[in-house]
Structure 1
């Protein structure tokens, strides 16, 4: 996929930060994706592997250490469970979340070019942070 663009105005994510998903929903070895945008009328994101429990400092809650198989400067990051969607199995909770994101986003982001909605950033400590979580935490 080509490098995604960032629109001047991206729809706010009103779904992810309200997602109620237990830490135990994921386990080491699970293949997951963090949805970051839209490409060719479909959701896209970064696929990773769950490695081990890890405290998610920005939300002050249990998180997961994730491994990006592509490697690079951020081979390992820590993310909150509500950011993650199973790739390795089809579970109802993840499917419901994906459907809600599709229903919300796809009509708003048109075109065939990949679009990164800018909802996430990685802190200097390797913590994946959602834009709404940084506002809530005052960061």
Structure 2
């Protein structure tokens, strides 16, 4: 298994693709701790998964899901350095935990074959950021938000 690519890449090509796993992922708030390095998987880069690497900073209420979330910091900055995200969106980078490795492998199985003939950076279109700085998966969007 190749390590996923978490580096920031040029502007991705958007290829709206259903996310078969993240919306139903059963991961608790306690699975992550302040200081953990995580990735939010967003798509495929060549023959690897791609996403945004961030550091877990502090607990924060995730308004789009009305559940405990985490405040995340993107060390590379960008348009928005801090976001709040639901734990099911996150995969550990700082440690190799079984739950995250299982999710990572399942995402690879679901996506890599689908895009094996494409070399560009592909954003599957799963996430948006609300006006309140909350990272939200498209399945968690509520009408009017």
Following the alignment from structure 2 to structure 1, what is the Cα–Cα distance between the partners of residues 86 and 62?
A: 6
Following the alignment from structure 2 to structure 1, what is the Cα–Cα distance between the partners of residues 55 and 81?
A: 11
Which runs of structure 2 are paired with 1:114-133 in the superposition (5 Å)?
Answer: 114-133=121-140
Unaligned runs of 5+ in 2: 1-8
Following the alignment from structure 2 to structure 1, what is the Cα–Cα distance between the partners of residues 112 and 78?
A: 30
CA RMSD of aligned residues (A): 1.0
TM-aligned CA deviation for residue 17 of structure 1: 0.8
* Structure 1 position 44 matched with structure 2 position 55: no
SS in structure 1 opposite 2:38? strand
**Preserved contact between residue 11 and residue 108 of structure 1 (Cα < 8 Å):** no
User: Which position in structure 1 is the counterpart of 2:31?
Assistant: 25
Following the alignment from structure 1 to structure 2, what is the Cα–Cα distance between the partners of residues 51 and 2?
A: 26
User: Which position in structure 2 is the counterpart of 1:91?
Assistant: 97
Following the alignment from structure 2 to structure 1, what is the Cα–Cα distance between the partners of residues 41 and 79?
A: 20
* TM-score relative to the length of structure 2: 0.90
Cα distance per residue 1:52-84 (max 9 Å; x no partner): 000000000000000000113311000000000
2:85 to 54, 79, 98: 79
* TM-score relative to the length of structure 1: 0.93
2:72 to 41, 66, 70: 66
TM-aligned CA deviation for residue 88 of structure 1: 0.2
Unaligned runs of 5+ in 1: none
Count of residue pairs brought into register by the alignment? 135
User: Which position in structure 2 is the counterpart of 1:113?
Assistant: 120
